[in-house]
Each structure stands twice: as structure tokens, then as C-alpha cells.
Structure 1
Amino acid sequence: MSKVSVFSDHACHLGEGPSWHPGRATAFWFDILERKLLEMGLDDAPLRVHDLPFHATVAARVDDDRHLIASDAGLYLRSIDTGALIEHRPFWDDRPGTRSNDGAVHPSGALWISTMGWRFEPGLGRIWWYRAGELRPIIEGLTIPNAIAFSPDGRTAYFSDTLEHVIYRQAVDPATGLPSGDRRVFFHVSGGGPDGATVDADGLLWNARWGGYAVDAYDPDGHIVRTISLPARQVSCPAFVGPDLDRLIVTSAFEGYDAERRAAEPEAGLTYLIDGPFRGLPEPAVLIG
């Protein structure tokens, strides 16, 4: 059995991009629309909320002291201690009205990052590959690219198109994280759209079902093996946390809610903690060159 509790009662307009920094024993996540980076440990430490000058979506660990932040202004190195930001690369998608979205680090140290239109324009979504200073688009023609995650052996990537309700499976080169074949449909999701995801040590894909009040676990053959219900409708992304990576935090959002809807669903935007019989994988550090 799994136990669901509230990890943080700070309500995020659009909570996203949770990650665990083992060297700091700290969870990080974003409120994209409010331009905030949040951080909190698991030991009753107080929540820290940092203002950002841009809409950021991904915090990839570089080392014990720095993150590589993906945002609608570009890639930035951020000091965890001081919050100082250094531009690493200007925003790479030069099409008007786009921003960064989902992302994860492949075992090779490559960062997959998605971009999408602010107005969810069909076909404007892309997934990009970054490693050691090199950046290139690798997947085109999506709308809201999400669920970027990798198998334990680094030979398979997963990603979704949330509005299309589809999770894809993509063969990749384990040495580089670059695609090595055509994408294939992994699962057609019903009862919500597939949002952020992560993979555990057993190779199960844990996916937040936006609009579905749930996180679903899929085996590598594309079968749902577990569903955990959550109080919030718009759950957005899971991440394994803790010294043993045996706990799961899940972000959520009240994006698009009016005052009446927010009053009816006060759980929206909170960040949840799930305790259960699972164990995650440590996310590799991103190689910046």
C-alpha cells in the first residue's frame, strides 16, 4: 500500500520539474507561471522560494554546487548557494511564442529538453538534445512534449504529447542519448493526458496523468501495473527523492482555474509525497563541456 501526504502546501500556479539533489539532500521544483524555484529537504526544513527573472522548467544537476536551468530565456548555470545566474546559452528555439517545458538527463550526461508554444499550438513542440555545449533538435511535430525519461540501461527514451494522449517509446544510443530509430506508440492514455514522468530501478515508467487525479506506473511492455490516486486533478510531474530514492514527490497545478474552481479544489497546486514499495534511480549529472 502507498501513503499519500502533502509535501508542501505552497500552492503553485503551475508546479513542474521536480528533481532531487543528492549532494544537498534537497528537492527542487518550479512554479513556471509565477517564475519561482522552490526547494525543501525531507527533514522538516522550511520551504525556500526563489524569484527568477524568467519562466524556468528544468533544473539539471551539474555538480554539488550548480544547476543547469532551462527556461524561456535560455540555459543558465545557477549557484545553489547564492542563486547567481550565468547565461550558458541564449534561448535556442527562435520561433515566436515558444518556451521550454519538460526535460531529463540521460545516463550519458545528455539533457533532453522540450519546447512548446505558449498557446499550445499543434506541431510547435520539439525535443532537443544538449550535451557538452552541443545542442540540436531531435524530435519535431509535437504539441505539448512531456514525460521525458530513460530506461535504466539508457537504451530507451520515453516522451509524450499530452494533448494527443500518447506516450511514445524511442530507441536511443546508450553512449550519447541520441535517437537510433523511429519512435513507436507506447500507450494511449485515457482519463487525462500524460504529463511528466520518471523511471524507477525496476524499469517502470511513472507518469503523472494531468486531469486524471493520478500517477500511473507502466512496465516496459506498455501495461499499467499500478495507479496511485491523488487529491489534485492537474498532477504534473513525479520525481524520486530521499537518500534511498524510495519516496516520490508529485507536483500539481491550478492553471486555468477561476476563483470558484480554486475554492472547490483547494488541493490544486500542492506538492505531494508518496511513500510506497518502490525505488528510483539517481539522475545523472548533465555534461556542460
Structure 2
Amino acid sequence: MRVVQRDRTDRLGEGPLWSVRENALYWVDIIDRRINRLSFEDGHTNSFGQPDHTAWIIEREQGGFLAGIGRDAVFLDLPSNHIQRLCTVEHGKPANRLNDAKADGTGRVWAGTMPVSCDTPNGAFYRIDPDGTVCEVDSPYTIANGPAIDCGGAFLLHTDTATRTIFRFAINDDGTLGERQIYIEFESDWGNPDGMTFDADGGLWVACWGAGCVARFDSSGRRERAIALPASQITNCAFAGPDLDRMFVTSASEGVEEPYGGALFEIEPGCRGLLPNRFMG
């Protein structure tokens, strides 16, 4: 394990994204309203301030990014930081914001919302189509988190961190979801499930908020092993590098006094990941 050296830590680091075309890792600081970038060429890290809570960043197939800022999904060009709104995911819920999101193999984005206060089940789960159409697919959520989509696109996993439960949904051909099924219920000493990603062998890696680790679950949902980290509030993880055999892990410093709270970590997962999907809009 190593701590990535940089001149700041994150209040709420999240959403790590490997960019093949830039040979760089992106991630966000939701509360500090920043997008961070780590160059794999020279190890330099820089960041870009944003106008509102910044929940996620996903590459677009045609170039640039789609980002979740406030309750809007926006086209984003970096480093110019030019923003163009594609859609508002929620109308009439000013106390909410976007949280974690992922693109699937068809180029759609699946994104959750949650109250900024993190204390009421006022959020939901949405599908954002390439043309900007927004469709609510599941609710309610208090802390909607961690979409993970299997490599074949047959199902996705989503979690409500507040209820310590990871749910499984079949993805239908028309973009609707099947019935919500309980996939993994976290035991009391596992922390709370946060961001997650699949590896190339079908294993599920979950960031364990409050437990200071990332854990791997096999395809049956059995907790196989965990890798400890020197921060309690672990938020998300992603495979990166040309061979997708490096894993980067985000964390949060908000509300805790820890030497490595809010750091970006690199660990050795002992396996390879999958390329992230891009938004086709």
C-alpha cells in the first residue's frame, strides 16, 4: 500500500475513474467541489474547482466528460472547465444532490441521489440515456451509492450505505430494471458498503466506510478477503494502469481527525479489472 503524495487531502474523495486516452486517474472531492487528476506519466496531481457538489465524472465516447454536479448531469471539458448542462436529474428536491454513478456497456449512466443531510430516505436511483432522458428506476434511498455493472451488462448492483445492504437488479433490454433483490447484507464489523467495482474474474470489490478497508466478495456474494488501509472512511475503488492491475482507493476526512483521512491510496489487488464504460451522449 502507498499513499499518493499531493498537496491536499479530500473532504469526501469519491468516484475514481481510469482514463486510457489520457493515461490518468480522475476522482472527485464531493464536498470541496473539486475534480482531481493524477497523471501516470509524471505523477503530478492537479485539481479543478466546480460550482456545486461534484459527485462523479465519466468519460464521453466523443471526447470530454459527463459529470454529476449538484443535481445536474453536465458536459465538461477539461482543462478549460467549460460546462454545458445535459439534464437535471431531480426537479423539486433542492435539498438533494447527485451521488455515485457508472456507465454501462450501452453508454447509459446509472446515478443515485441523496439528501445533502444524509439522514432521510429522500433519494432515488436514475438512468440517464445518451439523449439526456432521465428515468427514475428505484427508490427510496438515504445514501445511494456504488453502482457496479457486470461485464456482460445483464445485471447491476446498487447500495444504500445507510441500510448496509447491496441490492442486485437484472437489466432488461429496454433499460428498465428487474425486481430489487438483496445481494449482500453487511455484518456489523464490516462497516457500511460504499463505492464498488468488479474485477475481470467476476469478484466484487467494495469500499467499506467506517471499517478502514476494501473487501472482495466472490461471485456468490461471499466475503473472501479484505485489504486494510490507514483511514476509516473508505469511499470507493477503481482499477487503473495499462494492465488494469493497479487499484486506487479514495477516502474522506470530513468529521474525523486522522493522519491519512482524505488520502488517495494505491494497493495491490492481485487481479485485474475491467475498462470503465463511456457515456455515448
Give the whole-Å Cα distance in 1 for the aligned partners of 2:205 and 2:269: 13
CA 1:169–1:90: 2 relative to 1, 3 Å: closer
Asked whether the equivalents of residues 71 and 96 of structure 2 are also in contact (C-alpha less than 8 Å), the reply is no
Alpha-carbon deviation of 1:80? 2.3
TM-score, L = length of structure 1 = 0.92
The 1:227/1:176 distance shift into structure 2, 3 A limit, reads farther
CA separation of 1:27/1:159 partners in 2, compared to 1, >3 Å: closer, same or farther? same
Give how far 1:86 is off.
1.4
Q: Secondary structure of 2:162's match?
A: helix
Letter in 2 for 1:146: N
- Where 1:182 maps in the other structure, the secondary structure is coil
SS in 2 for 1:232: coil
Which residue identity lines up with residue 89 of structure 1 in the other structure? C
Q: 1:184 aligns with which of 181, 188, 212?
A: 181
Alpha-carbon shift at residue 76 of structure 1 (Å): 1.1
CA contact (8 A) 1:24 1:64 kept: no
Task: Tell whether 2:219 aligns with 1:226.
Answer: no
Question: Do structure 1's residue 279 and structure 2's residue 266 form an aligned pair?
Answer: no
Tell me, in whole angstroms, the C-alpha distance in 2 between the residues paired with 1:30 and 1:51: 10
**Structure 2 residue aligned with 1:83:** 81
What does the per-residue CA deviation read over 1:132-187, in whole Å, with 9 as the maximum and x for residues that have no partner?
A: 221111010111111210111111110111111111111112x55431x2111111
**Greater shift in the superposed pair: 81-90 or 275-284:** 81-90
Asked if the contact 1:154–1:177 (Cα under 8 Å) also holds between the matched residues in 2, the reply is no
* Unaligned residue ranges in structure 2 (runs of 5+): none
State the number of aligned residues: 277
- Point out where structure 1 has 5 or more consecutive residues left out of the alignment: none
2:123 aligns with: 125
Secondary structure at the residue paired with 1:217? strand
Matched, 1:54 2:47: no
Secondary structure of the structure 2 residue equivalent to 1:63: coil
Q: Show CA shifts across 1:240-281 (max 9, x none).
A: 111111111000001123xxxx2xx21100000012321111
For the aligned residue pairs, the C-alpha RMSD in angstroms reads 1.5
Residue in structure 2 matched with residue 166 of structure 1 by the alignment = 165
Using the TM superposition, give the Cα deviation of residue 12 of structure 1 relative to its aligned residue in structure 2, in angstroms. Answer: 0.4
Asked if the contact 1:65–1:80 (Cα under 8 Å) also holds between the matched residues in 2, the reply is no
Offset at 1:94? 2.4
Query: For 1:1-289, what aligned pairs fall within 5 Å after superposition?
Result: 4-9=1-6, 10-63=8-61, 65-132=63-130, 133-173=132-172, 175=173, 177-179=175-177, 181-190=178-187, 191=189, 192-257=191-256, 262=257, 265-288=258-281
Residues 20 and 205 of structure 1: is their aligned pair in 2 closer, same or farther, counting only changes over 3 Å?
Answer: same
Which range is displaced more, 88-97 or 123-132? 88-97
Change (3 A) 1:138 1:73: closer
The alignment's TM-score, normalised by the length of structure 2, stands at 0.94
- Is the CA contact (8 Å cut-off) linking 2:198 and 2:204 kept in structure 1? yes
- Amino acid aligned to 1:271: L
Q: Distance in 1 between matches of 2:221 and 2:71?
A: 36
CA apart distance, 1:36: 0.8
2:24–2:39: 8 Å Cα contact kept in structure 1? yes
Question: Are 2:87 and 2:133, in contact at CA under 8 Å, matched by a contact in 1?
Answer: no
**Cα 1:214/1:124, change in 2 over 3 Å:** same
- Which amino acid is the alignment partner of residue 201 of structure 1? A
How far apart are 1:44 and its partner, in Å?
3.3
Alpha-carbon contact 1:14-1:253 (below 8 Å) kept: yes
How far, CA to CA, are the matches of 2:88 and 2:134 in structure 1? 11
